[in-house]
Amino acid sequence: MQRLIIAFFCFVLPLTTLCAQENQNPILKSKQWFEEEKQKSDRGFHRFATLSTIGPDGRPYSRMIEIVGMSQKNGILFFTHRSTNKAKHLLVNPYAALNIWLPKTLRQISINGLVKEVPNDIAESSWKRMPRFMKITFLASEHNGVLPSPDALEERKAKLEEVYKESEIPMPETFVGYRLTPDQAIFYEIKPRSFPERELAELQENQWIVSQLEP
């Protein structure tokens, strides 16, 4: 009997604790909140987020992006044009912040972490899944400098549609993907006629520590 008790504390209990720590990964809760938001959305649900980066001038810049994928192992996946400001900023400072607002459930998710460019094969796989019109639109925009005229984009689009009229559209070198690996996340939930709830998940020595914060 004594041996069974020792075995429980040495093997079973640490395993249970480890599982609990793994389940504290903020990606898991984010996906749960996304699913609950989706269930309340009657016109479709898109995983949009505000991405904030720091430019070479030290000033913060924010813009909306679409989250393409999320996993506990690989973090948050998104794609952009290599000529955009966010791509240039990440070359200088690879840390960024994501803010996600879920209006149907009155929730907000703020995620900070390190951003790294994904391998070419992952970008290629995502490019192949994109609708044809999105590929043409991506190629038509140079994401650099002032637009010469309101009709310039439509003219480029028409030329591209003619060039690739009967062929597949290859992935350009300007199509780049990134993964944000979280090291901190804050979950904020508005409670009608009560205090809002705010929860912090912070990565410390490869373990996620979760705590409640003052609202």
Angle formed at CA 26 by CA 191 and CA 112, multiple of 5 degrees? 95
Annotated binding-site positions: 79-80, 86, 108, 198
Query: Other CB atoms closer than 10 Å to residue 187's CB: what's the count?
Result: 20
Annotated binding-site positions for FMN: 79-80, 86, 108, 198
Beta-carbon-side half-sphere exposure of residue 142 (alpha carbons within 13 Å): 9
CB 186 within 8 A of CB 213: yes
- Give the whole-angstrom CA distance, residue 26 versus residue 199: 10
Amino acid, res. 63: R
Q: How do the pLDDT tens digits run along the chain, 215 residues long? A: 445 444 444 444 443 333 344 458 999 999 999 999 999 988 778 899 999 999 999 999 999 999 999 999 999 999 999 999 999 999 999 999 999 999 999 999 999 999 999 999 999 999 999 999 999 999 999 888 888 888 999 999 999 999 999 899 999 999 999 999 999 999 999 998 899 999 999 999 999 999 999 98
Q: Burial of 174 by CB count in 10 Å (0-12 exposed, 13-18 middle, 19+ buried)? A: middle
Tell me the CA distances in angstroms from 101 to 67, 106, 110, one per residue in order.
13, 8, 9
- Residue 141 tokens, joined: 């925009």
CATH class of 20-130+173-213: mainly beta
**Strand-pair partners of 96:** 113
Q: What is the pTM of this model?
A: 0.84
